[in-house]
């Protein structure tokens, strides 16, 4: 199976959003200001199709089979720590316009890091090396953008994910909190 990583397109919205939701879970509720799962997914799709936030299609890459480029097997959302701050300001404004509860949006990366916000492989494709391919791709994008550190946050109890990240060279550098939940901040020097 030949895997290709390509830039996400707006047409990928429903496939990508389901994987984003699987990866970030209830954090999506707070980022969208919604509690009903269908509303959360609908609002995540709206965010994906916009150009000014973390989960925009502009920050998203998808893994596909070379001969089936329309079927998303995995996703990668990444951007610089600096861009993350600007996008968070836009998200706050969007939530205000929706009259949603305003939340504290915690920074997720240091300013000198290129940040993997979300990575998720479709359940039927796990164990095929797609996650590793996506992380290797993230390293290349970080280098192309002049960064020497690639970072991510992982929930403290996601042991298989932590193991994957350590296997490809990430190390836990500090505890991190995102919307009152504990995470490990992991960094790979490039």
3-state DSSP of 122-134:
CHHHCCCCHHHHH
Could you list the beta-strand ranges (E) of the chain: 3-7, 60-65, 68-80, 114-121, 149-155, 171-178, 181-189
- Distance from C-alpha of 171 to C-alpha of 169, rounded to nearest angstrom: 7
pLDDT score of 80: 98
Tens digits of residue pLDDT in 136-189 = 999 999 999 999 999 999 999 999 899 999 999 999 999 999 888 899 999 999
3-state class of 163 per DSSP?
helix
Higher pLDDT pick, 190 / 104: 190
pLDDT score of 154: 96
Closest residue by Cα to residue 115 from 47, 179, 176: 176
Tens digits of residue pLDDT in 9-33 = 999 999 999 999 999 998 899 889 9
Q: Residue 1 burial (CB < 10 Å; 0-12/13-18/19+)?
A: exposed
Name the strand (E) or helix (H) holding 166.
Answer: helix 159-167
In Å, the largest CA–CA distance within the chain is 46
pLDDT score of 144: 97
pLDDT score of 12: 98
Provide the pLDDT confidence category of residue 102 given band limits of 50, 70 and 90: low
* pTM assigned to the model: 0.95
């Amino acid at each position: 199976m030949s895997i290709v990583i390509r830039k996400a397109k707006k047409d990928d919205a429903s496939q990508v959003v389901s994987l984003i939701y699987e990866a970030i879970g209830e954090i999506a509720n707070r980022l969208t200001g919604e509690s009903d799962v269908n509303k959360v997914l609908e609002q995540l799709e709206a965010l994906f199709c916009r150009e000014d936030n973390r989960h925009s299609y502009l920050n998203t890459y998808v893994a596909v089979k070379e001969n089936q480029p329309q079927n998303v097997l995995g996703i990668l959302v990444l951007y610089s720590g600096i861009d993350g701050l600007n996008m968070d300001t836009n998200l706050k404004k969007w939530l205000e316009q929706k009259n949603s509860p305003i939340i504290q949006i915690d920074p997720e990366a240091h300013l000198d890091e290129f940040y993997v916000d979300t990575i998720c492989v479709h359940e039927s494709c796990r164990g095929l090396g797609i996650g590793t391919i996506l992380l290797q791709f993230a390293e290349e994008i970080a280098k192309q953008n002049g960064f020497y550190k690639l970072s991510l946050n992982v929930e403290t109890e996601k042991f298989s994910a932590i193991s994957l990240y350590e296997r490809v060279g990430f190390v836990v550098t500090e505890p991190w909190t995102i919307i009152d939940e504990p995470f490990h901040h992991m960094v790979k020097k490039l």
